[in-house]
Structure 1
Amino acid sequence: MIAALALLTACGLPRSGPSKKEIYSGAVEHGGNAAIIYVNEHVTRTANFSPSYGFSQSFRNSSAIGADEIRPGDVLGLSIWENVDDGLLTSLGTSSTQLQEIQVDSGGYIFVPYAGRIQASGNTPDELRQIITEKLSDQTPDPQVTVARVAGDGATVSVMGKVVSQGVFPIERPTRTLSAMLAKAGGVAIEPEISVITVKRGSETGKVWLTDLYSSPTNDIALRPGDIILVEEDQRSFTALGALGGQTRVPLGNEMISAVEAIAMVGGLSSNLADPTGVFIMRDEPPSVASKVLGKQVNGTQRIAYVLDLTRPNGLFLARDFLIRDEDTVYVTEAPYVQWQKTIGAITGGLNSANTVSNLTDGNN
């Protein structure tokens, strides 16, 4: 009997993953590359570093651009009135000339007949009107000029991803902020609770939850020409494995999820298999957090397996306070008796099968 048990144990019975003893054998002190840390109140406070989304000060300090400021790429419309019957620009019998769809070139200039090449960018339509009027005054008496900014193509942002209407949109007076531009694009096309907004500006990138965008005015940043706005579904998740009610990848959303909640989300501990003293949260810790947890200065990312013993008096409280992070693995080991039970079952099942075959053989004889 003992020989059969040893043989089955050596061969390896089906199980949901490594045992608690096997995980401990991979600890740093045994030549492995993972630190095994029992969770206590100090560890909970130290390890509950939760990276958050948000915009840097450079994003938040950017002032709204002047909606009327002319930029390269803008399209202008000019109307010029002259107080003479046969003016510079007007034909006989007419008093005004319409110059429509004059595009500001890449250098910021436009060309107006008899006024020459004029720098339009950096001026408002009214300032440009005064410049053109002064240029023409030397050649025609008391000219009257109006300037209209027909389109804002020179100050645009790109809106992409999970929005109702993707496209390139001009920054105009009603759409100078992030929330207003999202509304211009029809709003997000996914659940607001899982929507993440990314803004890329040159080499800098910032992210914010859609819900935080509307709850905090400081996140509603002013847009700048060339900004790229991307709306996507949050991809943060943790993986649940071992003696649990389910083994799966679970989205985090924008909630703060504790170890207890993470276990509950996959059906809780398996009452027939789980070892409540062997709840592991495995993660790669940044050096700033790992140094505090380990009590010594370390360089580079560290692999840490946090151990929760739910049978301790404060075990459930610690699990309730320990926060789960993106890419965590929540693993629950099987109780030691489970393997023993499987071994006994395999032996007695094998013996019963052998007796059945023997009985069948005897009956045939």
Structure 2
Amino acid sequence: MKPIASRWARSVALLVVVSLVASCGLPRVGPNKREIYEGSVQKKGDAYVIATNDQVTRITAVTPALGFSEEFLRAGTIGSDTIRPGDTLSLTIWENVDKPLLGPEGQVASILEEVQVDGDGFIFVPYAGRIRAAGNTPEAIRRIIKTKLEDQTPDPQVEVRRAAGDGSTVSLVGAVGAQGVYAIERPTRTLTAMLARAGGVTIEPEIAQITLTRGGKQGKIWFQDLFKNPELDIALRGGDQVLVEEDTRAFTALGATGTQARVNFESQNLSAVEALAQVGGLLSATADPTGVFVFRNEPEEIANQVLGRNDLRGAQRMVYVLDLTKPNGMFVARDFVIRDGDTVYVTEAPFTTWDKTISALTGSLSSVSILSSLTESSGG
């Protein structure tokens, strides 16, 4: 009877192992293709699962719209001869008398350095009083001072020149060579010139963004667009704030990829192929190239276009499927644009699950053999 009992013990142990493997499941990186499709709206789930094709890539190819408003673009360059609040002037006044108004006896020329134009646009000159400087040229200011002094000293000669400033200052912060407050002067009247004055950008130019704030209004552009589109090199104004920062967009990579992490964009436009390349590509030993998924909350307008509808309201959960094994699969993946906040997930190939099952059973069958041996020993 021993052989029958032994076979019976082995069979029972094997059934127990198979039951445990089936009920407990196997280790894996996430849902498989079947489970994702089971969660689709078509099967009473809450996400639309869409097979990606050329039409879908065209509809979803939306990139951030960066640029300056017409108000910023129309602003002309500040003239070098127009005085504005915040400028600093230097005045020299010559008097043809022994006892001048503005200096000690015997001194012909009086120099007034660093005369600041106040917030209201005025300067003060002894014996001439408070004079409107903002909006006038140095020549106009010279004539005003001369006229006011002529009643008190014969034939005064006046020179007015700008010592510093050209419409106040601009502050530059962020990823620039030298953060600080800079005066708008002849060489630095435009955005590119001021950035150069501050030492240029200190991050990768391709992902550098420039935000300019003026009077409560903002504009943002890509740094590289400054050179591709010269019209974006706008004229600066006093009080402008310029921020240079790295692109903050990112996507999340999960599943059978080289890296599972939140990954920052490395270019202005990022395709699905480039996103996979950034994370080390697909794992050749486990990845299913027919199961590359992009999870996204799609805006109402785009979701309706993709699905050929007009009744959807609000953002929709969309799952785009990329099959890299199709003849045009790589081209579609190359044209599919990844957006900020996307999740790129690669499923495991079916044979990977099978291998895991076999490995689990093989390891468990060793335990079955041990159990059977123990059973025979105890019976003997």
Opposite residue 324 of structure 1, the aligned amino acid is I
Q: What TM-score do you get using the length of structure 2 for normalisation? A: 0.87
> The residue matched to 2:201 in structure 1 has which SS?
coil
Does the 8 Å CA contact 1:236/1:253 hold for their aligned counterparts? no
Q: For 1:125-164, what aligned pairs fall within 5 Å after superposition? A: 125-152=138-165, 155-164=168-177
Match of 1:352?
A: 366
**Matched residues in 1 for 2:192 and 2:182: separation?**
13
**Matched residues in 1 for 2:314 and 2:235: separation?**
36
Structure 1: unaligned runs, 5 residues or longer: none
Opposite residue 157 of structure 1, the aligned amino acid is V
Opposite residue 90 of structure 2, the aligned amino acid is G
Match of 1:84?
A: 97
Shift of 1:4: 4.5
Q: For 1:52-131, what aligned pairs fall within 5 Å after superposition? A: 52-131=65-144
326, 343, 346: which one aligns with 1:332:
346
**Matched residues in 2 for 1:5 and 1:97: separation?**
104
> The residue matched to 2:338 in structure 1 has which SS?
coil
Match of 2:279?
A: 266
Shift of 1:2: 6.6
| 2:45 is the alignment partner of 1:47 | no
RMSD: 2.5
Match of 1:253?
A: 266
Q: What TM-score do you get using the length of structure 1 for normalisation? A: 0.91
Q: For 1:289-328, what aligned pairs fall within 5 Å after superposition? A: 289-297=302-310, 298-328=312-342
Note closer, same or farther for the CA distance 1:211–1:183 as it changes in structure 2 (3 Å cut).
same
| 2:165 is the alignment partner of 1:165 | no
> The residue matched to 1:88 in structure 2 has which SS?
coil
Shift of 1:40: 1.5
Does the 8 Å CA contact 2:31/2:347 hold for their aligned counterparts? yes
Q: Moved runs in structure 1, 4+ residues, more than 6 A?
A: 360-365
> The residue matched to 1:197 in structure 2 has which SS?
strand
Match of 1:206?
A: 219
Q: Which moved more, 1:248-257 or 1:202-211?
A: 248-257
Note closer, same or farther for the CA distance 1:189–1:312 as it changes in structure 2 (3 Å cut).
closer
> The residue matched to 2:337 in structure 1 has which SS?
coil
> The residue matched to 1:24 in structure 2 has which SS?
helix
| 2:188 is the alignment partner of 1:175 | yes
Opposite residue 254 of structure 1, the aligned amino acid is S
Match of 2:28?
A: 15
Does the 8 Å CA contact 2:207/2:268 hold for their aligned counterparts? no
Note closer, same or farther for the CA distance 1:144–1:248 as it changes in structure 2 (3 Å cut).
same
> The residue matched to 1:261 in structure 2 has which SS?
helix
Does the 8 Å CA contact 2:91/2:161 hold for their aligned counterparts? yes
**Matched residues in 2 for 1:200 and 1:5: separation?**
66
Q: Which moved more, 1:301-310 or 1:160-169?
A: 301-310
Match of 1:227?
A: 240
Does the 8 Å CA contact 1:82/1:90 hold for their aligned counterparts? no
Note closer, same or farther for the CA distance 1:288–1:63 as it changes in structure 2 (3 Å cut).
farther
Shift of 1:359: 4.9
| Number of positions where the alignment pairs a residue of Structure 1 with one of Structure 2 | 365
Shift of 1:58: 2.0
Structure 2: unaligned runs, 5 residues or longer: 1-13
Q: Which moved more, 1:348-357 or 1:163-172?
A: 348-357
